[in-house]
Amino acid sequence: MKICIVSNLYEPYVLGGAEIYVSKIIKYLTEQTKNEVVLITTKPFTKLEDLLIQAEQVNSQLKIYRFYPLNIYHSKQSDQKPMFLRPLWHALDLWNIHSYIQIKKILKRENPDIVHSHNITGFSTSVFTAIKKLKIPHLHTLHDYQLLSPWAMLYKNGKIIDKFNSLEEKFYKTKKRFTKSPNAVLAPSQFTLSKHKEYGFFKNSRLIHLPLGIEASRLDKKTSEEINIVYFGQIVQHKGISLLLEAFSKIKNTNVRLHIAGTGPQLKQLQDMSKTDPRIKFHGFITGKEKEGLWQRADIAVNPSVWYENSPVTIYEGFQSKAALIVSAVGGMQELIDDNKNGLLFKTGDSNDLRKKLQQLINDSELRSSLAENGHRDYIDKYTIGKHFNKLEQIYKNVTPTQGINSDS
């Protein structure tokens, strides 16, 4: 079976979890099955030739096609560009004729059995048109809300967008017009599926809630007299790190440590805010053994987001690592937490409620242990990477009923 993956970004051009997830799918399909994978992705503009398709045969099972979709800048450069350019960029990205021509050309050349698309901002909705034109079975995964708003997190000016203005309404209605064709649409949270359904998207598609899964890693839990609280993620406003720091500053215990792992535009500001508290350590972006080591020491993990998170990997990692979780009751995150069973929920944006939940877990070692054990049991039962890909395989088979994943297992 030949599977085409469409993802706006792919290594080395990575912004967040969507690109990491795409990499995992490709790794699984090329290492654990006998299927061919064709990846269509973008590249930044450096010369005119970048507008043309460039193919790379990575190995016998993986071929990568890259090109620069004609626009005023590459999507990964958005944060570096003036705000006044963004409306023009998004207008050109509603339906991009250049992307349509190039993607259709690749699909005709490769003739895949199925296309699995992911984030398409940068390619535009013309991806859907090209797939529909060639009558190829189509599966789409929602990672955020980029089809609903130019603000893909549905978060603007320090608050969640709960009502669209007239221009934003035209934006999502235009995108809805061109995205009617997938056979099935996946999302790791029911919340994200429901939010798109609320605005009339994917009326003719099968909607499937497919939670994420993560790989098993060595679980060598390290204990100490200190209680280690961890945050993993981007250091940006909508992630709520300033809220976490505010709550932590009101906790007077000297045997606690707050570890913040990640980078982003708020990093310097938050470091300055916290420099007088020796209990707080900023690790920057960490991965591999360093990240694993911090998870091994983690007693409590916090996700204080103030936007409609879809289904952040850090929650699954917390379950796997036997950390007691404290999670903001917003978006798809709250679907993973059974309050007081496998974690604690706190009122979104309420630093005082977050402080209370932190203090509760700092004071109650039995509750910490119970939440951690129950969360780990959920990981084993529901959230391993093997279970996730087994379900994805079945979805592929259902979308292409005459085909099947040729698994080695």
Q: What is the pTM of this model?
A: 0.91
* Residues near 260 by beta carbon (within 8 Å), at least 6 away in sequence: 230, 231, 235, 241, 270, 280, 281, 282, 283
CATH topology for 227-382 is: Rossmann fold (3.40.50)
Q: How far is CA 86 from the centre of its chain?
A: 22
Which H or E run includes 96? none
Residue extents of the structural domains in the chain: 2-213+385-399, 227-382
Domain boundaries 2-213+385-399, corresponding CATH code = 3.40.50.2000
Q: Is 56 helix (H, G, I), strand (E, B) or coil?
A: strand
Q: Is 354 helix (H, G, I), strand (E, B) or coil?
A: helix
Closest of 218, 179, 221 to residue 200, by C-alpha: 179
Contact between 121 and 98 (Cβ < 8 Å): no
Tokens of 136: 């190829």
Cis check for the bond before 12: say yes or no (omega within 30 of 0): yes
Whole-number Å distance between alpha carbons of 104 and 115? 12
* Residues near 155 by beta carbon (within 8 Å), at least 6 away in sequence: 161, 238, 306, 307, 308
Amino acid making up residue 250: K
pLDDT tens track, the chain, 409 positions: 899 999 999 999 887 788 889 999 999 999 988 889 999 999 999 999 999 999 999 999 999 999 999 999 998 888 788 989 999 999 999 999 999 999 999 999 999 999 999 999 999 999 999 999 999 999 999 999 999 999 999 999 899 998 999 999 999 999 999 999 999 999 999 999 999 999 999 999 999 999 999 887 767 777 788 999 999 999 999 999 999 999 999 999 999 999 999 999 999 999 998 999 999 999 999 988 999 999 999 999 999 999 999 999 999 999 999 999 999 999 999 999 999 999 999 999 999 999 999 999 999 999 999 999 999 999 999 999 999 999 998 999 888 754 433 333 3
Domains 2-213+385-399 and 227-382 share a fold: yes
